[in-house]
Structure formats: structure tokens, C-alpha cells
Structure 1
Amino acid sequence: MFKSIRHGLFAALAGFTILICVCYTGLAVIISYVTEDMLVDRLLESEAAAIGAHYRVHDAVRQPGNDLVRVYRSFDALPEVVRQQASAGAKRAEVFTGTGQHYHLRSLVLGSGDASQRLYLLADVGPLLVVSKLVQDVGGVLLFVAFGLVGLALLLAWLLSRRLVEPLQLLAHEVRNLEPHGPIELSARQRPDEIGYLAERLGATIAELHTALRREHAFTRDVSHELRTPLTVMNNTLTLAQSQPLDQQDVAQLREGLDEIRKVIEVLFALARSEHIGPEAFDLRGCIEHSLLKLAEEGSSRCLDIDLPERLQVCGNRHLATLLINNCLGNALFHGGPGARLAIRFADGRLEITNTVDAAHPGRTQGFLHGQNLLGRLAQAMDWQLAFHPGPTDYRVTITPRRPS
């Protein structure tokens, strides 16, 4: 088994080339010898026809017109070497000798009935064997030319195999040197043939694999980071419940932890699916109103200051945008304290959500700080910009959505 496809292709082309050369050489030799035998046979046939015509007219056997042909009136009169290799009743025969002679024998019957007689025409065709003479005289030159042509064919096969396989080898080299998180650059993508299609599909598959691996790594990291804090708080609360019963504040803390875990899981699954959801144009005002209605249904009442246009067309994903607004508003209402004031405004292409800070509850005035990483990833998945602005009296987040072109 060849380790390189180029070596395998070269071996196949070289073997095919040598096979073609051997087959055509053998065919040429066979045609040459057959042509030579047909020439000699045609010579004996013409002499036999001439002798038969002369016998029918003059009732006598004439001598052949060619000096290479002799007439024998009986089989016993033939040379011994001919009698050993031919039979008396054979119509024609070819006799090879070790002394350099080469005979062609042809029998001829003259007359009919009891007056018929059998003659034997024997031709020593050694001087007519052009093929053997040619091989003896210029065989070395022919052999040199044949090896030269075979060498040239092998060189062309090597060059052809190198030219055909080079794009595949370059593609394999580029794929082998790809970095796990680096750009995918395959030069064969510009080719219009099957190698270009293979490079295009291979690059797309590797890109999807890298994206899936990054998404899995981010999901694992976010689960470990975002769920650790609420789970720790809930675990501590349940541990304390073994020594004393839970009061309303503890129960509220457990509910807040569960709610936070639910929100984190929703965001994580939404981010995991965001790679398969295409961007679309939608009304962001509808998402904001939906989030405010949801908070009102949950019993969250705050002083609201809303300044939004009638329609706020943006480009992104409606589900991710709703989750982003829900988390921003939920964190604002929770961390702003019971007397916090919430303002939602849209100006100069930016959406601002501001909550006042309750100085009486300094431990809860963290604004949007908790979960900033997930909120940032939600905005990044839609190609939006997200910025946090903490202050002594309020906490403000700025969302710059992508507008439809």
C-alpha cells in the first residue's frame, strides 16, 4: 500500500504505460512476421499457379521463375531436414533449421486421375527474411529508442501524477496545519472543479466543528460560573434549615435563587441555539412591552419612566432580544431596591435602561453587575453593543441594537 496518493497514481500510470508499450511492441512484431510469411506464401502460390498453367498447356513441368524456389517430384527427394519436420501429405509447411536456412514447403497436384502427380515446391526464404535481418542490423538502435520512449513516458507519467495530485496534497497540508481556533483558509476553494467543492465543504464542516466546540466550551464555562453562586446560596440556606425553621426571608431567597437559575438556563440554551437562528427584522418596542407586562403579572410594581418611539425596528433575534430585556429589567428591579425608579429611553440609536440606587440597601445595589458576562454574550450573538455605567445614585445600561439596512 502506497503512503502517498501521488506514488500510487505514478505507479498506476507507469504500469499502464509499460503495458501499452509491451503490447504494441508485441503486436508490431507479430504483424511483421505474419506479413513476411504471407509474402513468401504469395510467392509460392504464384509459382504454383504458373507451373500448373504451363503443365495444362504443354503437359510438362517447367522450372520456377524465381531462383529461390525449387521443384521436387517426390517427397523422398526433399532435403532430410525438411522430411523430418514435414509430412508427405501436407499442403504447406514451414521448416526451421539450426544452420541458418529457413524453408517454406508447398505441395502441388498436376493432372487428374491415374495420370496425376504430386510436386513439392521448396523455397529457401532466408534472403527474404527482412524482419530477422532488421533486428540483427538495427536491433540495438531500436532497443535504445524503445527504452528512451519508455523513459520519456515514465517522465510524463511522473509529471502528470505530480500535477494532478498537487492540489490534493496542498489541501491535505493546509488541513493538517489548521489551528484549533485559527482562521480556516483553504486555497483550493477558488477552484471550479471537484477539488474546489471538496475544499469548500471541508472548510465549512471544520468551521462548524470549531463553532460547536467553542459553543460547548462556553456553555460548560457559563454553567460552572453562573450557577455556582445561586446554588451555593441555596445550599447554605438549606443547611441552616436543619437547625432552625425557614422564615419568609429564607423562602424568598430560595425562590430568588431558583428564579435566577431558571433565567440563567434559559439564556444558556438560547445562546446554544443562536448559531442556528438567522437574524431578522422585528419591533424591539414589542419585546420591551412584553417584558414589562410579565413583570407586572409577577407583582413587580415600580415607578416607570418610559420614552420610546411608536415603532423601534431592529435587526437580530426576537427571542434573544426578549431574554436580554427580561434579564436587564429583572436585575434592575431586584438590585435597585424597593424604592428604585426605572427609566427606559431610546435616543440616538441607543436604548438606555436606568435604575436608581437605594442608599438604604447598599448590599443590594449591584445594578446589572451580576450576570454581565451572559448579557454581553446575548448582545454579541446578535451583533449588538452592550455597555454598563455604574454611578453613586443610579445604574445605567446602554444597548445599541443593529438597525435594518
Structure 2
Amino acid sequence: MASSIRRGLFAALAGFTIFICLCYTGLALVISYVTEDMLIDHLLKREAAAMTVHFRQHGVLKQPADELIHAYADVDALPPVARAQVAAGHERAEIATGTGQHYHLRTLDLPGGQRIYLLADVQPLLVVSKLFQDVGGLLTAIALGLIAAALLLAYLLSRRLVAPLQVLAQEVRSQAPTGPVAFSGRHRRDEIGYLAQKLSTTVSELHATLNREHAFTRDISHELRTPLTVMRNTLHQAASRPLEAQETALLQSGLDEMASTIDVLFALARAQHIAEELVDLRGCIEESLLRLLDDTDRLQLHLPERLQVLGNRQLVMLLMNNCLGNALFHGGAGARLRLSFADGVLSVENSLDPARAGAMQGFQHGQHLLRRIADAMRWDLGFHAGAAAYRVDITPLRAH
């Protein structure tokens, strides 16, 4: 498409150039011939005025002073071509013949009703025709050279004007689906720069949308497989015997985990459209603990009275609910929970039940999802597994 634009622009510039050249050439010819005719007419007019003055003063007809002009008192004495013009009623005429003569005819009415005819053979005065005969080849060569130069300039201008568009089109064509978006023309201060900026923004947003869609699809497959498998196995056993209370609780826990996971995934899919704000992290922690924890004797809380961080309240609540929910569930019924904040790091630690040593402990399940939540808010996460406890360190983005 870019090359067709260049061809179209070159054709327009070339056509306009040739049109201007032809117009100016025609205008120059018209001006030359008009000037030549005006000069000859002025000579006849001046000769007619002189003959009229002489006739009034002396009463006799004076012959023209210019040897190219002849005065005829009788129309029959005129050359046939001139006589035909007079017979047609023309008082002034320009007559070209095929024998080399070129006449200018002018009728003069003298006092007393006498009419004479001034006929000038102006062939020696036709400078324009003589000029084209002598140097017409040179003038034609110069004109063709100027047209060629103008066409070359039009070609160079078309290349120069369309080159930024070609570069932009090539960059768009070679843009990788997951590569960085950086068009070279975005710093230009013209329409191409504006177009490059808009394209860059649009492609970046499209890449981000596609990445979120791929991440959502991947996370749905990864995070929901485990609880679905547990629930499917439990329900399979229910076909042969009634479910025990522990198995019912496991099903309920799986449903709660799936609901929480889906909430997180949808929030992450919309993360780029969620505004960043000041959030009271301690308030979010307390709200999550009130919902998840019944026995406060298992809890140790070492937090400042107010803990302002930069993030999104919905994502912060999802992060806290998942961290604390995992800690309480995987740590076992007797697990103790300790939350502390020091040096800008929030530490969430749960003790491990030795009887559940073979099971998944603490935060090992769902780490990828927790990292996705933290990355969406530009927070850092660190996981530390020990023999008697499991700890996650959360480094939130602090307000300055």
C-alpha cells in the first residue's frame, strides 16, 4: 500500500508539473504573438494618424513613410486575399498567405469621404516565428530538460514524503505479537508522529488484553484442576456410601476455594482497568481475619495501628483472603498464625501440624495465583518453607 501511495503521489506531482509547464509555455506563446500583433497595429495606427494630419494640412494624400506599408485608394488594386477581406466587410484584418506574405489590413477614412486602404506586408517583422525557426530546437531541449528536472524533483519529493509512512508500515508489519511496541516515528511533531503514537498505544493495549486473556485461560486450567479433582473423587465415593462430615466439609472447602479463585482471576483479568489508591493494609487484614478466624488464641498480631499502602482494595482483600485462608486450611486445625510488619515487609507465618507432614503445607498451593495478584499491584512476594512453619513475606508498595 505504501508503494502505491508513493506512485500516486509521484503521478500527481508529475502531472501537475507537466500541466504547469504546458500552461506557461502556451501563455508565453500567446503573449509573444499578441505583443507582435500589437506592435504592428501600433505602426499602422501611427502611420494612419500621420497621413490624416498631412491630408488635412495639404489636401493631398501622402504615401506612408514606412516602406513595408502601402496605401491603396482603389479596392481593386489590393491583392486578392486583401480584397476578399474588404468585400467581407472587415475594416481591419490579419491575413496569412501560403506564398510567404503576411498582411495586416487597416481601412482609413479621410476628410471629404475619401477611403483608402493601408496594407502592410509584415513578414520581416514576425520575430516570434523567426525566433522559433532559428532556436526552436534549443528552446525545446531546454523545456524538455526542465520538465525532466521537475519530474526528478517530483520523484524525490514523493519518496521523501512517503518514506516515513513506509517505515511505519514496515514496523507494523514486522511487529511481533508479544514483542515491545516502539515505532520510530512516534517522536515526530506531525500527523505521522500522532499516528505512530496512537498505533503504539493501541497495539500495546491489544497485547496487554491478549496477555491477560491467555493468563486467564492458563490460570483457569491450572488453579481449578486440583479442587475439581478432589470434588470429583469425593462425589464418586458418594455413589456407594453416604458422605462423612469431613468429606462434606472438603466439598464445601473446594467450592469456597473455587469461588475465591474465580474472583481472583476475574480481578486480575480486569487489573489494568482498576485504579491504584491508598489502602489501609491493617484494616484489610483485620477484615479478612474476622471472616476466616474463629479462635483468636491461635493468632499473634504485631502490626502498626495504621498501615497505608498503594494498591487496589479488591486485590488486597483477595490477596489477604487467599494467604490467610491457605495458612489456616493447610496448617491444620491446631495451626498458629503470626502476622508481623517490620522494615516494610509484612510476614504471614503459620505453624505446621506434624500429623499433616505428607500433605501440602501452607502456601505451596496457589503460589502462582498469589504472585499474579502481587504483580498486578507491583508488590513483591517471598515464600519460605521450614520444618515447623511456613512463611510468606509480602512487600507492599508504600505511599511516599
TM-score over 0.5 for the pair: yes
- SS of the residue corresponding to residue 279 of structure 2 reads strand
Q: Deviations over 1:79-126 (max 9, x none)?
A: 1233345535211011111121111111112234xxx22211110011
**Paired residues of 2:374 and 2:381 also in contact (CA < 8 A):** yes
Determine the structure 2 residue equivalent to 1:189.
186
Deviations 1:219-240 (A, max 9, x none): 0111111112222222333333
CA distance in structure 1 between the aligned counterparts of 2:305 and 2:388, rounded to whole angstroms: 30
| TM-score computed with the length of structure 1 as normaliser | 0.94
Whether 2:391 is the aligned partner of 1:396: answer: yes
1:25 maps to 25
Shift of 1:399: 0.8
CA distance, structure 2, for counterparts of residue 86 and residue 73 of structure 1: 13
1:245-394 alignment runs, 5 A limit: 245-296=242-293, 299=294, 303-394=298-389
- Asked if the contact 1:167–1:188 (Cα under 8 Å) also holds between the matched residues in 2, the reply is yes
Partners of 2:363 and 2:392 within 8 A in 1: yes
Q: Deviations over 1:163-195 (max 9, x none)?
A: 222222112222222211111121212212222
- Paired position in structure 1 for 2:152: 155
| Structure 2 unaligned regions, length at least 5 | none
Q: Which residue of 2 aligns with 1:108?
A: 108
- Secondary structure, aligned partner of 1:76: helix
| Whole-Å separation in 2 of the counterparts to 1:300 and 1:179 | 54
CA distance, structure 2, for counterparts of residue 164 and residue 377 of structure 1:
46
Aligned-pair CA distance for 1:364: 4.2
2:229 equivalent among 209, 212, 232: 232
How far apart in 1 are the matches of 2:91 and 2:310?
Answer: 100
* Distance of aligned partners of 1:300 and 1:216 in 2 relative to their CA distance in 1, 3 Å threshold: farther
Shift of 1:153: 1.3
Q: Residues 80-229 of structure 1: matches in 2 within 5 Å?
A: 80-84=80-84, 87-112=87-112, 116-229=113-226
- The separation in 2 between residues aligned to 1:130 and 1:189, in whole angstroms, is 60
Q: Structure 1 stretches of 5 or more lacking a match?
A: none
**Partner amino acid, structure 2, of 1:312:** L
| Corresponding position of 1:11 | 11
3-state SS of paired residue (1:4): helix
Query: Aligned partners of 1:75 and 1:397: how far apart in 2?
Result: 125
1:339 counterpart SS class: coil
Asked if the contact 1:336–1:364 (Cα under 8 Å) also holds between the matched residues in 2, the reply is no
Number of positions where the alignment pairs a residue of Structure 1 with one of Structure 2: 400
Q: Percent identical across equivalent pairs? A: 63
- Per-residue CA deviations over 1:289-328 (Å, capped at 9, x if unaligned) read 11111214xx466600111112222222222111111100
Moved over 6 A (4+): none
Change (3 A) 1:158 1:302: farther
Aligned to 1:360, the other structure's residue is in SS state helix
* Secondary structure, counterpart of 1:368 in structure 2: helix
Q: TM-score, normalised by structure 2?
A: 0.95
- CA gap of 1:320–1:153, structure 2 versus 1, over 3 A, is same
Distance of aligned partners of 1:334 and 1:197 in 2 relative to their CA distance in 1, 3 Å threshold? same
